[in-house]
Amino acid sequence: MSRWIITLIVFSIIFLFIEIYAFQAIKTLTKSRIIKWVWLLVSLAIYANFLYVIFSTPRSAGQTVNFQLAAGLMLTFLIPKLVLLVIMFGEDVFRVMGKLFSFLSPGETKDFSGRREFIAKIALGIATIPFASFLYGIWQGRYNYKVLKYQLFFEDLPKAFDGFTITQISDIHSGSFTNKEKIKYGVDLINEQKSDVMLFTGDIVNNKADEMDDWIDMFKELDAPYGKYSILGNHDYGDYVEWKKPEDKVANFQAVKDIHPKIGFDLLLDEHRYIEKDGDKLALIGVENWGKGFNQAGDLQKASSQISQDDFKILMTHDPSHWEYQVKQDDFHYHLTLSGHTHGLQMGIEIPGFFRWSPSQYVYKQWAGLYNEFGRFINVNRGFGYHAFPGRVGIWPEITVIELKQGTRDT
């Protein structure tokens, strides 16, 4: 039996188990056949649509908008059912223990039917929270752009750059876009920050260069007086598509790189640039993608080979695992690193200043926001676009504005 068939059987059993327990809540609360049939037919339609999209989409197409919508619907209905599963399964365990207690104590019997109905109501009530959140995330959350501002102090910042501002954007993923009006709003919001320099930290497409064709005119309107600079992300290499010929992948990669000058960005491929102001300068370094466990194309030493250790340095590297494993303790001392990649998994809970959580934190130590170790900073941008899941739940699309200040925070 092939591995693919075994995998299909395993997942079918898992999903069947989830559906059975979720359906228990409906059966407990209503005797209406119409409601039960609607529940079953909607579930079957979502699974059927997901399977149809998977099997009808050639791998050479990459990740399509139809796949994202199918996956989004699956998650929107599946996550609430997982909530039902946990609660109803817990109730079943409680009932079994109760019956066992009654068997061991014949004089005492308890009726749990009323309790089960109450638990089913609670379970459905709780399940509506992720259901509504995912619906909102698909409908509006993916366009709920947030401007996050930081002020960072450095004792060795050149004097002319005191108050210098950086706008960082990341993970455009143009192949996922469907709404020009909303994307135009996001682009205008970036320009409204009026920062001195604009830095883009990778993943301009999902897989193919032509995904950006309809968005070039819009993104070339981005403006910054000291220039716009960019790097590549893991999706820009076309590694997630089954290409018909190796030459097609090579041509696509070149076409992706060609997008950057078309929208006015200077693409850094293991290179540096000096930004000069009033006789002072800072070094901007951009590396190709370097990720822990995959695609380690970036060469930090090559990118920094023509700059001085005494220079004030800003590093652009797409994947924050690069900072964790290579950059943060490097003797060359990279003052500020800018990354993206994680998207904060596009779902989680953030209460600014109090609490934040996302499944992304179990994969990446630095998964969203600003971090400081060894006197060096990294900002992990949550991304401008979205990928795989066509929405955002609690982890909103981000435009970062960083102001550089000379001295210490106490001065």
> In this prediction, what percent of the chain has a pLDDT beyond 90?
74
* pLDDT digit string, tens, across residues 47-97: 999 989 988 988 888 888 999 999 999 999 999 999 988 888 887 777 777
* pLDDT digit string, tens, across residues 342-372: 999 999 999 888 899 999 999 999 999 999 9
Q: φ and ψ at 62, to 5 degrees?
A: 75, -160
C-alpha dihedral sign at 9, 69, 382, 352: negative
Greater pLDDT, 120 or 251: 251
Domain 145-406 has CATH 3.30.565.10: no
Answer whether residue 271 shows pLDDT above 90. yes
Query: Lowest-confidence range among 67-71, 288-292, 305-309, 353-357?
Result: 353-357
Q: What is the pLDDT of residue 316?
A: 98
Answer whether residue 129 shows pLDDT above 70. yes
H/E stretch holding 266 reads: strand 266-267
Q: What is the mean pLDDT of residues 287-307?
A: 91
Q: What pLDDT band is residue 111 in, cutting at 50, 70 and 90? A: low
Q: What is the pLDDT of residue 257?
A: 98
Answer whether residue 277 shows pLDDT above 60. yes
Q: What is the mean pLDDT of residues 384-389?
A: 96
Q: What is the mean pLDDT of residues 5-29?
A: 84
Give dist(CA 14, CA 270) in Å, integer. Answer: 45
* pLDDT digit string, tens, across residues 226-240: 999 999 999 999 999
Q: What is the pLDDT of residue 17?
A: 87
Averaged pLDDT score across all residues of the chain: 92
Give dist(CA 53, CA 34) in Å, integer. Answer: 28
Q: How many angstroms separate the Cα of 29 from the Cα of each of 77, 120, 206, 233? A: 19, 7, 44, 49
Q: What is the pLDDT of residue 82?
A: 92
Q: What is the pLDDT of residue 411?
A: 47
Say if strands 271-277 and 280-286 run parallel, antiparallel, or are unpaired.
Answer: antiparallel
Query: Lowest-confidence range among 72-86, 181-195, 311-325?
Result: 72-86
Q: Please report, for the chain, the start and end positions of each structural domain, with discontinuous segments joined by +.
A: 3-139, 145-406
Q: What is the pLDDT of residue 31?
A: 85
C-alpha dihedral sign at 135, 137, 138, 139: positive
Q: What is the pLDDT of residue 113?
A: 57
Q: What pLDDT band is residue 46 in, cutting at 50, 70 and 90? A: very high
Residue position matching structure tokens 């959580």? 357
